[in-house]
Every structure is written in structure tokens, then in C-alpha cells.
Amino acid sequence: MIDYKKREVFITSYIFNSTGYPLYNSNIVKGQGCYVTDTQGRKYLDFEAGVWALPLGHCDPDVNLAMHQQLDEIMHVGYKYNHPIVEKSAEKLCQIAQMEKGQCVFLTSGSEAVEYGIQVAKAIRPGKHCFSLRGQYLAAYGQGWQRDKQSWQQIEWSTEDNFTPQEWYARLHHFYDFQELGVFVFEPGNTSGFTKLPPPQLMTALARICAENQIVTVVDEVTCGIGRTGKWFGFMQYDLNPEIVAVGKGLGNGYPVSAAIMNQKTIEEAEQAGFHFAQSHQNDPMGARVAYEVIVKIEKAELLRHTQIMGEYLRAGYKSMQKEFPIIREIRGIGLLNSIELDASVSEEAMREIDRLFFEHGIIAGVKPKERVIRTYCPLIVTKEILDIYLKTLGKILQ
């Protein structure tokens, strides 16, 4: 065992920090629940859940036990053999995605799952272009990241748009030619970390358009899935029945596993199109075992309902705080996917100071200085007592 306390200063010059975020502390050595601890014993509330990837918090004992047990059996396999847990976990994922006759493939990252879904969709809709809502992140690489103008359309929208589904339907047909489009990639609410939720009326219109034009819907549930919005998946907050669901982050509670879930019709079309995809860590037992344990524990602990209650409590706290601090311009969120946006009087420099002060007060939150956004995607196990600590600290900082 490494004794980290003997070495107070870490050499970090060999690590290339390309994230775009400041590194405040390279001495975090322990995590438990909603907290992480550094070598000096100082605790921090992790209201980013790692990178939004810990629905059960740090070092969940049941997930850890499952990993240890699987490690002693087998963690990695080849293309021509596998472990029963992969089938068991795939069945569970199809159930919660309401695709009981579907199938899924386990991968390693959310971006990979999104890319896999796009590749399947393009294979069964050859020659057709993709489209998404403008401002959504989708992936760190591949077609979901590039979105070149020649083969990808961006739908303009705003959270302030207040059209009926019929009005949206007419507007969309006026501005876009959906006969050229075959793949709709949709992210249900993170919107590049701004927590901007697409209007339900817009999604009802798009669902109708996709059905009329045989457009394959790929839902990016990397951030919004596995209970984050108070339902298993963010698309369940809308009138939407996707063909493909890409899952990551929370599926592994910190372990790098993702999945692409496909309905029966999509599987049949992919097979007819001769679709193939293979990589080294595809359908590994370790990832499948972790995913199964995470889903089962969320069910047993009734965390979907808990997430709804905690989200409502947090947003109520924000509304009370807004009376004291009118610089809070907007409150956005659903479940435990929440943000506040400050008004234009707050400078980018002040936002960077807010970010630094959060850390000094022992809280890790998401702060986007240019956009004046403070984001919290905390573990789903958070309690009212912990939320009160966060809200009290936020009040001190704003003051």
C-alpha cells in the first residue's frame, strides 16, 4: 500500500492537463459517498460526482464488492467467448430502457457509445445526413463531435421558445428538409453543461417528424441517464421512443463502462445491412458486472424517487436564495441535474473567484465563468443535510 501522507507535494509536471479546467488539488487520495479527502485529511463535497459519473457516490461498498468478486473470476474476454453476467446485465439494461426485445453492446466510454449508435444508425440509413439540437455536446470525438456542415444539420431552439407542437411542426418543416435526414442524435438536457432542457412541445413535434420520415433517433444518455433526471433515462421525460440509447458515466459509478441499447427493429436492420464493430474491451464481464450492480442498487434504494425529491428541495432552496440575491437570473433543472445562471452584471473574473472560493470552502461545483453558470450534478444519494451545507456555502460566497 502506498503511504501518500509521506509525500505532501506531488510532482504533476508529467501530467498534461488538457481539460480546460484549473487543477486546484492533486492530492485527493480517498472518496466516500458525496465526499473526497486529500492527503491532509481535508474533505470536499463533490457536487460534480467526479465527472457526473457517480450516482451512488464514491467507493460504494456493494459496487466495490462486485468488482472484487469479478476480478477473482475473469475481467476481460475475447470475441469468441464470454461470461454469463454480460447477458444478465444486458437484459437488465434493455428492461429499464423499455426495450425488452432489444439488445445491447457494452463498451468503455460514453463518447464511444454515442459514436457506436451513430454508426449503426448511418449503416441502416445510408446516404442520409444527421441532425441534432444546436448547443448539445454529444461526444468528445467522432461524428458526434465533428458534426461537419456537409453531413450534419443543427436545429435552432431556445428554452424560451413557447410554441405548440403543431407550431413547432410547421416551423421545423419551413426551415429544414427532413427528407435528406436519417439520423437524429438527441441529448435530453445537459446541453454542454448548461442544463438547458429542450421544450417538450419541440420534442413532440420532432418525434412526429422522425416517425413520418423513418429517421433513426439516437439518444445520448451519457449525462442524463441512470436516474439523473429522476427517471431511468432523460428521454423518458418526453414523448419519445428512440431506436438507440447510448449510456455511460453513471452506468459504471466511476468504472469506465458504457453501453449502446437498441430495439429489435434496429437490430434486424443492422444485421441486414451487414453492420460490424469490434474493439478490445467490448462486452467485458467486469464492466457488465459493475453496470448490473449499479442498476440493482438504484432500484433497491429507490433512488429515482429520492432524486426527484432532492432536486425539488435544491431548486426550492435556490428560489429562496434568489429573493436575497437577485443576481440569480435563472434556475434550471430536473431531478439532480441543476444549474443557476447569474445576471450580466457578474464578470467572468468574479465567476472564476466564485469557483476558487467554492474549493476553498470545501465544495467542488461546476462553474462556467464566461456563461455565468453554477452547476451541480451531485451523487443521487445526496441528503437534505448535505444540500443545506452547499446552499449555505453558496450564500456566503455570493455575499
* pLDDT tens readout for residues 267-277: 999 999 999 99
Distance CA 167, CA 157 (A): 13
Residue-by-residue DSSP string for 171-237: HHHHH--GGGEEEEEE--S-TTTT-PPPPHHHHHHHHHHHHHTTPEEEEE-TTTTTTTTSSSSGGGG
**Segment (H or E) for 338:** strand 337-342
The domain made up of 4-60+302-398 is a member of CATH 3.90.1150.10: yes
**pLDDT mean for each 10 residues of the chain (399 residues):** 48 78 90 97 97 97 97 95 97 97 97 98 97 94 87 93 96 96 96 94 98 98 98 97 98 98 98 96 97 98 98 98 97 98 97 96 96 97 98 96
What is the CATH code for 74-300?
Answer: 3.40.640.10
pLDDT of residue 19: 87
3 state SS of 258: strand
Pick from 18, 22, 19, 38: which is nearest to 30 by CA?
38
pLDDT of residue 12: 55
Cα 72 from chain centre: 30
Report pLDDT for 16. Answer: 87
Count, residues in the chain: 399
Position 150 scores a pLDDT of: 84
Non-local (6+) Cβ contacts of 34 within 8 A are: 45, 46, 47, 57, 58, 378, 379, 381, 382, 386
* Strand, coil or helix: 36: strand
Give residue 148's pLDDT.
Answer: 85
For the chain, give every domain's residue range: 4-60+302-398, 74-300
pTM of the model: 0.94
Half-sphere exposure of 196 (CA within 13 A, CB side): 18
Which residues share a beta bridge with 35? 32, 45
How much is the pLDDT for 239? 93
